[in-house]
Structure 1
Amino acid sequence: MLVHPQFDPVALKLGPLAIHWYGLTYLVAFGLFLWLASLRVRQPWYTQAGWTRRDVEDLLFYGVLGVVVGGRLGYVLFYKPGYYLSHPLEVFAVWQGGMAFHGGMLGVLVAMALFARVRGRRFFDVTDVIAPCVPTGLASGRIGNFINGELWGRPADPGLPWAMVFPQSGSEVPRHPSPLYQFALEGLLLFVLLWLYARKPRATGQVSGAFLFGYGCFRFIAEYFRQPDSFLGPLALGLSMGQWLSLPMVVAGALIWFWARRRGA
């Protein structure tokens, strides 16, 4: 069986300043977004609509705020509302960890709505630009989770070649390396599918709908291999919180895609 390498979470120390691997993965995510979105707006149908590199830079600024604020509030409200109600000041202690993708996504949607309003653009025009550029950031974040040895998987068959012991779990039980599953599914595979799909002009909203549907499906599948949070455990029907939060994404993504297709036709 494999054993998690127990990486030092601190990548570099400069005197009192400690640079964590997880923070570096966020920088990589933002850098990849800037590069990919810049490629997106060079497509003829975007240049004709007046999109520029400056728009991409402003989108990144709005998006960073949405990710950080939404991700933190999502974790507080979805996962530990009782704890933070009793310890309200710890809501701001982001250095202690605790970010939720679904909250971050809602934060980004609010930020994109604000950007669209300020720039006089349609909401789905904005989200269609950014949707194919998001999965690489998700992939980067999952590498950060793996380096930290967190979000380990459920117990696995010891005969599984890649079954891995996570000492951080407090046991020697071989587990699925679920952060790597999510890296592959909702990161790399979703990126490839969306990037190829968005290479041709699509009806406004279809790329956004495809992202929601694809992420929701891949996250739902990956959650079967990820250990549910100990303070929550399995919820109704044996599903995890991540699965229950993914189901509305699947439904919304399908509805948006069909609505956009019908409207485009």
Structure 2
Amino acid sequence: MQFFPSFSVFLKIGSLEIHYYALCIITGALIAYELGQYRFKKLGYARNILSDYFFALLLLGIIGARIWYVIFMWNELYAANPMEIFAVWHGGLAIQGGIFAGLIYSAYFFKKHEIPFLVAGDAIMPGVLIAQALGRWGNFFNHEAYGSAVSLKFLQSLHLPQFIIKNMYIENAYHHPTFLYESVGNVIVFLVIILLVRHFSRKNGTQFFSYFIGYGIVRFFVEGMRTDSLMLGPLRIAQVISLIFIAVGIVGMIYVYKKGTPRSDFS
């Protein structure tokens, strides 16, 4: 057994390697799960409901994120070596694909359990931002999701820890730590939803749709700085989806304002 055998690997047991990438994703998912359980308890739902939901959601979310990435990187990475599709530990999860898969499964699951979709969404989606924030650190350890080249002086001006600056030196140049920008942005959106939106909103769905507006804005601007975006012709697909998220969030907020049901847990 060997701890920290390389920058990207947390633990090595024989030939088995546990990567920071996986560790960040699992840790973020567990935090989101516990936050959701806290909210579900306040709503009066049994703990086993979200437990049953979580494990299937995690698996389907990872599959959805992987499929989304593979679709847009097929020619570059997978056409010549299709077996690489299964090497998730090498990186290559597109979170927006995971969100789509998660939403589809969530609609099915909560309808089956007769739980209003927007009630569940309010309880779960803010925590997803924390999972996404931690997931970006997995990209950091894999040397992914970085931006264009910058000077060492610029990074030092951000007052970043030295280990971040050191590991932003990739392919003979320093780069924007866009993983960090998005991670911090997601935490800020989480705090806005929990401390402001949740405090003042009186209708179900407000926090759910706030997620799409807040995350969409953060991702749109950070994506514009990245050098490894998934592309659809000349368009960065994540920016296109982010604009769709923002539009859905705004339309959803208008719907909630006009026709939404009152929150039972408003305090």
TM-score (norm 2): 0.82
Q: Secondary structure at the match of 2:210?
A: helix
Q: Distance in 2 between matches of 1:117 and 1:210?
A: 22
Check conservation: 1:72, 1:103, Cα contact below 8 A: yes
1:224-259 deviation line (CA, Å, top 9, x unaligned):
332244x84x954xx533212211111111111111
5+ residue gaps, structure 1, are: 1-5
Tell me how large the CA RMSD over aligned residues is.
2.6
Matched, 1:222 2:206: no
Aligned match of 2:18: 19
1:50-79 deviation line (CA, Å, top 9, x unaligned):
x12212212212320221111111112234
Aligned match of 2:239: 243
Q: Aligned pairs, how many? A: 249
Check conservation: 1:9, 1:22, Cα contact below 8 A: yes
Aligned match of 1:183: 183
Check conservation: 1:206, 1:260, Cα contact below 8 A: yes
TM-score (norm 1): 0.83
Write out aligned runs for 1:85-234 (5 A): 87-160=81-154, 161-162=157-158, 164=165, 169-171=170-172, 173-186=173-186, 188-196=187-195, 197-199=197-199, 202-229=202-229, 232=231
Distance 1:181 1:167, change over 3 A: closer
Q: Distance in 2 between matches of 1:88 and 1:117?
A: 36
Identity %, equivalent residues: 28
Q: Distance in 2 between matches of 1:104 and 1:20?
A: 20
Q: Secondary structure at the match of 1:159?
A: helix
5+ residue gaps, structure 2, are: 262-267
Check conservation: 1:25, 1:144, Cα contact below 8 A: yes
1:86 deviates by: 5.9
Aligned match of 1:254: 250
1:56 maps to a residue whose letter is L
Aligned match of 1:3: none
